[in-house]
Amino acid sequence: MKKGISILFFIAALAAGCSKSGDKSPCTNKLTLAQDRKIIDSFLLANQQQRQYTFDNQAQVYYFVEDAGSGTTHPTIDSLVSFRYKGRLMNGTLVDSLTVKDPPTAPLRNFSSGVYVVYALSKISKGGKIRLVIPSSIQFGCTPVQGLNRIPPNSQLVYEYELTDMTRNY
């Protein structure tokens, strides 16, 4: 449970850091989704991954299910989950990392402020792995953010999630 609270605190701190009233320079050069998509498409093409990823128009993210996991049961918002993830810049620089350890004790709804956690984990089963590429225009925009390492303005982010265990909670 402490991990869930830590995640929520971290996400809230990131959000607060993005909207300080004392910021001197307004965010004026934010990329559009179309610009982000060109950058991401070029990155995927250069890394020969363009056929692996699908763009979800509703969520406005790219995703690739690397391993669907065992079984057909996917977590719901009330499922107890344990998972790990890493967030990186497209150049590979680690900007975020977390492990919610076994046994699963945290409901997925505890991570709903990190909307991509819910999105990613709902697409896989226990043992599954998924990658998301998040356009800057729907994440942090042109505002720099400090995580484990600095996230520069207009950064597209690659998140890797692994659902290590889950229990349906009805």
Q: Are 96 and 6 in contact (CB under 8 A)?
A: no
Residue 114 lies in a domain: yes
Both structure tokens of 142 = 């042109």
Considering its fold, how many domains does the chain have in total? 1
What pLDDT does residue 72 have?
84
Residue 42 lies in a domain: no
138: CATH: 3.10.50.40
- The one-letter amino acid code at 118 reads V
Residue 34 lies in a domain: no
Residue 26 lies in a domain: no
Residue 152 lies in a domain: yes
Residue 44 lies in a domain: no
Element (H, E) at 60: none
Residue 25 lies in a domain: no
Q: What domain range includes position 130?
A: 2-17+52-167
Report pTM.
0.80
φ/ψ of residue 14, rounded to 5:
-60, -45
Residue 23 lies in a domain: no
Q: Are 132 and 62 in contact (CB under 8 A)?
A: yes
Segment 82-130, tens digit of pLDDT: 999 999 999 999 998 989 888 888 888 888 667 788 899 999 999 999 9
Q: Are 101 and 82 in contact (CB under 8 A)?
A: yes
Segment 154-166, tens digit of pLDDT: 999 999 999 999 9
Q: How many CB atoms lie within 10 A of CB 150?
A: 12
Residue 168 confidence class, pLDDT cut points 50, 70, 90? confident
Distance CA 155, CA 73 (A): 33
